[in-house]
Structure 1
Amino acid sequence: MDLSEHYNQLYKKSAAAILAGNYKLDSQINNPSDSRFGITLLIRPSEKIKAYIQLFLNELKAIEPTQYYYPDADIHITLMSIISCYEGFTLDKISIEDYIKVIQESLINLGKIKIEFRGVTASPSALMIQGFPADESLNNLRNKLRENFKKSTLQQSIDSRYAISTAHSTVMRFQEKLQNPEKLIAVAEKFRDYNFGEFTVDKVELVYNDWYQRENNTIHLHDFDI
């Protein structure tokens, strides 16, 4: 299944569930004792694209003001979840330099990564911006990271939840009962094929993060120029 079809199927299934009241609330967003942390390699979209995303979010906020919306500083694409968030993980359990070295090796001879943000999709618990890589550069980098980390002895959980293959960005999560599910889906439909813009990735970031990539819980570990 190609990426466009994957997003389409996800949207159709999730929109139907939302309208039927079968959506899922995230009970952990406001839990101050949530201790799920991990390390992630991520991509940040351009400021221009984030401005267009906020236009979309502002329309959603007008009808669903009590949901969880990602601020600009938290919007990202997960390039690779190297250690998936789990309870009690702390940085003193690993050597950051060893991880940096493996990532640097994976970036050798990498082509330019271009990503187009076009349209929105949904899950039963969130709304996402659809990302479309221009070519295979992103997949090639992910495969190199998989190969190099599996050859190493470093703690990692790559692909343990699922094999990442998309380039989406989650921008809204359901944290309370929806007040206007029909209007929510109407806004999603309005932006279903909206062109948020294209950007060329000039760096990727290694971070220690919570489940939601909140800036105030994130420790920046390293930037890799590409």
Structure 2
Amino acid sequence: MITSALPASRTQRVSADASATAWALAARSGDPDAAERFVRALHSDVLRYVAYLGADPQNIDDLTQDTFVRALDSLHRFEGRASARTWLLSIARCAVIDSFRRAAVRPRTADTHDWQSVVEWAQPHGLPGFDDGIALLDLLEALPDERREAFVLTQVVGLSYEEAARLCGCPLGTVRSRVARARMTLMRLLDEADRPGAETGAGEPARRTTAPAATAA
């Protein structure tokens, strides 16, 4: 089962988004307590999203911090037209893409651990569904980059399809198609894993080396 890794109910998410957006707007007006609440409310979402995008595991915390530094520096431009979470994740996406660009122009000096280990570390250990969350991470690696991102944004982070489409810069129908195809792939992989004699690690997909695609279907 992978449902335990999915977001809370829409009512809970809408309420949480409204609170985070209100704190962002208050922080824009100079309220330091609101700024702290804004960071705390969305820190785990940014951490998970950065990790799922395949950033260098050694830089996950730095990229998360960079995201919030960029956001706090840009709060004067935030008007609440989109939720603070959608706005913040768009900044996180830019931070990850910038990190890929920087990595592409410098020599690699050492191997790093698989990005899954960072996401696993960010998961709430000891809670029901933790093992299911780790299983989901393994399955997500088999998805093409753009389908993984669409699935993570809507089914893990909890954005609406409309919000995910704006964030990815593609039509709403494209996001729906990516999520549907991702679901089909995940269900097929689950079915194959449940078959007798299934071999662990067979057909392991190649790891990501490029930035997330913005428009590919």
Relative contact order higher in (CA < 8 Å, ≥ 6 apart): 1
TM-score normalized by the length of structure 2: 0.26
Hey, which of these two has a bigger chunk of strand by percent?
1
Comparing both structures, which one devotes a greater share of its residues to helix?
Answer: 2
